Structure 1
Amino acid sequence: MAKLIIGCGYLGSRVLDLWLARGEKVYAMTRSPARAAEWSQRGISPLVADIAAPLNIEAPTDIDTVLFAVGFDAQAGRSIREVYVDGLARVLAWLPATIRRFIYISSTGVYGSFQGEWIDEIAPCDPQREGGKACLAAEQLLAKSPFADRSVILRLAGIYGPGRIPRAKDLLENKPLDATPTGYLNLIHVADAARIVLLAEKPTSHCLLVSDGAPVVRGEYYAELARLLNAPPPQFAPAANEPPVAKRGAADKRISNARLISELSPEFQFPDYRAGLSDAVKHWQAS
């Protein structure tokens, strides 16, 4: 049986590589005919479609597992709800009923405002940002779908790694960071996240929090990143015109990965931000 990836971006492309390395047949959806042609050359089965519009292509009947890892592209002219919620609804209606596993990539942004508490899967959801609100609405849609009993929601902490080191350019240019130095960051390296997706093919709880389990105070994280970049020490200057509760740079919660560890026993290649940042910066400087 085959795999299908909808959202073959930063995370999805790495899952694709892992599945190919395992000898799986992989379908991947893209809006770009040019990208579809490139994928064909790699032995990937492309599906050219846009989930923000009616899916007028036939769904393959040999799909066993689906990864829905769609990111938001502000340049595409669609709202985040149109992509995350309406797009998911189209996919769920389009898929064959024989799907065995549906893996949905969500975000810890579905949680509300906290003051440094540890958060687990049963903590109350009260998203303050539009992305978190759309993720939660999509989760609720999936829970009411025919695939609910075959799905797992992976709520990812901040994903980073080669090619994605938030604020690196600002630090190098000695720009003040629109964030507070206090409060916790919760992270997961993209390589570890991709391997966890594959582990989630087996039966699990309906929802799992995905992080490295080693929250770090924001000021400490950016100080280490500046050191690795040989940049000046970070400066912090939170904007005064945005409610703190809605700012990504003001979040303050610690994500527990205890259920993830208990159910899937992942082995982290990058168990904390120091190991992960060092790897990401080495790749960035070599590119």
Structure 2
Amino acid sequence: MTWLITGGAGYIGAHVVRAMTGAGEKVVALDDLSAGVPGRLPADVPLVRGSSLDGGTLKRVLAEHEVTGVLHLAARKQVAESVAQPTRYYRENVGGLATLLDAVAEAGIRRFVFSSSAAVYGDPRVDLITEETPCAPVNPYGETKLAGEWLVRAAGRAHGIATTCLRYFNVAGAAAPELADTGVFNIVPMVFDRLTRDEAPRIFGDDYPTPDGTCVRDYIHVADLAEAHLAAARRLSDGDPAGDLTVNIGRGEGVSVRELITAIGEVTGDTRAPLVEPRRPGDAPRAVASAARASELLGWTARRSVHEMVGSAWRGWQLHQAADRR
């Protein structure tokens, strides 16, 4: 098997590359490098600079590297940006996926893993979100992920492609400092950024119907997430009898924003009190996965704790901050 990993030089993609190659899988990475960093990839992994919107490049890569399966991670993923630029998100996330699936079908590839998101659920008022929880995304990013799932399943049925859709919850941490998330878009690096600038962390709303009044989320270590991709790929390699699987990828445990900031303070040594600001529109009070299906069907369970996520992310943040100062 040779797996094409789109977005392979990105934060999550590079972790997936390492998990796959570490398990003996042969991979090739495709990345337009708009957010990817070539240095994240092992030297022996081929990197093709290109976009999933470029059908010609896709056909060439699939043929030249004799690709037999695809892990599609490449996408735009910022909620606020998707609200401001919905057509761009539909064009790149859905249009790019359609172009990729056309190339996959033409090449006769029969295994496809799609990186989806818990954003497809929107704001469900349930204790644990199962894969049967109704999908009602509340922003264009979530809409493109749900539309992507529909497209993947339809192409799978039409062309005999065995497919798996992985619905990520909140990703944090790093398997190695050099692989850390360098963007300031998710809560952990956002808090690190505030502390680095000698500012207190921010909490948006402390009056939610949760135990401490702050939003509750399911946080997963990116290394666990990468291992989930490996498990999904291996299931397809072994001839998944279902050929159409949708799975939540989370720890199944809720952590409040205040609890997370407390953990960050314990790791960094900066325990200043957070500032409480008004709620942000669209923030659900609680979003926690049921991870039972992943355990049952993929043989996968998240292993790393919130403190491991925060500690590994902090080491990566410090490495990149030191590099930026040089």
Contact 1:171 1:234 in 2 (8 A): no
Q: Give the deviation of 1:284 after TM superposition.
A: 3.2
Of 142, 153, 176, 2:165 maps to: 153
C-alpha distance in 1, partners of 2:126/2:262? 20
Please tell me whether residue 258 in structure 1 is matched to residue 262 in structure 2.
no
Displacement of 1:223: 2.0
- Contact kept, 8 Å, 1:119 with 1:255, in 2: the verdict is yes
How far the C-alpha of 1:197 sits from its partner, in A, is 0.4
CA spacing shift, 1:116–1:39, aligned 2, 3 Å: closer
Question: How far 1:128 sits from its partner (Å)?
Answer: 0.5
Match of 1:69 in 2: 73
Where 1:144 maps in the other structure, the secondary structure is helix
Identity of aligned residues (%): 25
- 1:167 pairs with 2:190: yes
**What residue number does 1:27 align with?**
28
Report matched runs for 1:103-182 at 5 Å. Answer: 103-115=113-125, 117-145=127-155, 146=158, 149-162=161-174, 163-164=180-181, 165-168=188-191, 169-172=193-196, 173-180=199-206, 181-182=213-214
- Which residue number in structure 1 is paired with residue 210 of structure 2? none
Q: Is the 1:55–1:90 contact (alpha carbons within 8 Å) kept by the matching residues of 2? A: no
| Structure 1 residue corresponding to 2:230, chosen from 184, 189, 198 | 198
Distance 2:195 2:266 in 1: 10
State whether structure 2 residue 232 is matched by structure 1 residue 223.
Answer: no
SS at match of 1:103: strand
Distance 1:40 1:156 in 2: 22
Query: CA offsets, 1:185-215, max 9 Å, x none?
Result: 1111100110110001203661000001211
Give me the whole-angstrom Cα distance separating, in 1, the residues matched to 2:275 and 2:41. 47
Aligned counterparts of 2:107 and 2:13: Cα–Cα separation in 1: 23
Aligned to 1:284: 317
Gap change, CA 1:260 and 1:224, over 3 Å in 2: same
Which residue, out of 91, 115, 118, partners 1:82?
91
How many angstroms apart in 2 are the aligned matches of 1:97 and 1:143? Answer: 18
Corresponding residue for residue 275 of structure 2: 235
What TM-score, normalized to structure 1? 0.84
Q: CA deviation at 1:41?
A: 8.4
Matched ranges for 1:5-44 at <5 A = 5-8=5-8, 9-31=10-32, 42-44=43-45
SS in 1 for 2:203: coil
SS in structure 1 at match of 2:252: coil
Contact 2:6 2:74 in 1 (8 A): yes
Offset at residue 229 of structure 1 (A): 2.1
* Contact kept in structure 2, 1:187 and 1:212, CA below 8 Å: yes
Decide whether the 8 Å contact of 1:184 with 1:253 is kept in 2. Answer: yes
Q: TM-score, normalised by structure 2?
A: 0.75
The structure richer in helix per residue is 2
How many residue pairs match? The answer is: 278
| Structure 1 position 25, deviation (Å) | 2.8
Q: Is the 8 A contact 2:120 2:143 kept in 1?
A: yes
- Aligned partner of 1:152: which letter? T
Q: 1:103 deviation in Å?
A: 0.6
- Give the distance between the partners of 1:64 and 1:278, measured in 2 at CA: 37
How far does residue 117 in structure 1 lie from its aligned partner after superposition? Answer: 2.0
Residue 11 of structure 2 aligns with an amino acid whose one-letter code is Y
Distance (Å, rounded) in 2 between the aligned partners of 1:88 and 1:31? 14
**What displacement does 1:281 show?**
2.4
Counterpart Cα distance in 2 of 1:40 and 1:171:
29
Secondary structure of the 2:277 match is coil
Question: CA deviation digits over 1:155-191, x for unaligned, max 9?
Answer: 0001111333332222551153335452311111100
